[in-house]
Amino acid sequence: AQSVAQPEDQVNVAEGNPLTVKCTYSVSGNPYLFWYVQYPNRGLQFLLKYITGDNLVKGSYGFEAEFNKSQTSFHLKKPSALVSDSALYFCAVRDGSNAGKSTFGDGTTLTVKP
Amino acid sequence: NAGVMQNPRHLVRRRGQEARLRCSPMKGHSHVYWYRQLPEEGLKFMVYLQKENIIDESGMPKERFSAEFPKEGPSILRIQQVVRGDSAAYFCASSHPTGELFFGEGSRLTVL
């Protein structure tokens, strides 16, 4: 079984401040980890992924995420938030041992205020 | 390259009718996934298909729901005898075997 927890329903930050959106996961095999963003009435867009290699991965729009195996976490970060980053963010995990389904967290709504 | 194409974008059905949702994956992708998103909720996995095969249908309701991905043509998610609780956004995604998912814009089903 695999699962994802996003402990915060909502994250509010001021424009220009750093942001963090938290994610922890559980998977029996090798974790493949993903972040996606969803704007209103749209599909999800891929931001970044961790498969193997460096624990710090960089993705689209200046986002990055750090894989921490001991804490089973994959928090999304950005050094300086923009108002246009306001959206719904989903963390997802897949068992890398097989080409199976991705399991998503419940999502975190990020609001960046001017 | 065209992305994942879903149609219809919006579908309205009365209780008891059938809903048929279509998904064409990205070119070169042979893996298709269907997810359901209820208002104010996350994505719930429904089914994972490859051409002509259902690989994992552990998220599909046991009754009224079916999915296929034929050798030719799009993947189809079919909901028979719809009820109000079926109202949701249904998202299709495609991928290479171990890669990230590419999502369509979704089909929003409203059951009256």
Tokens of B28: 């070169």
Does the pLDDT at position A95 exceed 70? yes
Smallest Cβ–Cβ distance between B105 and the set A32, A43, A49 belongs to A43
Nearest residue in chain A measured CA to CA from B58 = A101
pLDDT value of position A53: 87
The answer for residues whose C-beta is within 8 angstroms of residue B1's C-beta and 6 or more apart is: B26, B27
- Distance (Å, whole) CA B76 – CA B33: 11
Does the pLDDT at position B1 exceed 60? no
Task: Give yes or no for B34 touching A (CB within 8 A).
Answer: no
pLDDT digits (tens, 9 = 90+) for B25-38: 998 888 999 999 98
Task: Give the CA diameter of chain A.
Answer: 44
Tokens of B58: 């552990």
Does the pLDDT at position A3 exceed 80? yes
Residue holding tokens 């001017």? A114
For residue B72, count other CB atoms closer than 10 A to its CB.
6
Separation in Å, CA B96 to CA A65, B28, B39: 22, 8, 29
Smallest Cβ–Cβ distance between A107 and the set B35, B42, B93 belongs to B42
pLDDT digits (tens, 9 = 90+) for A53-84: 899 999 999 999 999 999 999 999 999 999 99
CA B82, B87, B88, B89 dihedral sign is: positive
Distance of CA B13 to the CA centre of its chain: 16
Residues of A in contact with B56 (CB under 8 A): 100-101
pLDDT digits (tens, 9 = 90+) for A16-43: 999 999 999 999 988 999 999 999 989 9
Smallest Cβ–Cβ distance between A43 and the set B44, B48, B104 belongs to B104
Nearest residue in chain B measured CA to CA from A106 = B42
- On average, the pLDDT of chain B sits at 93
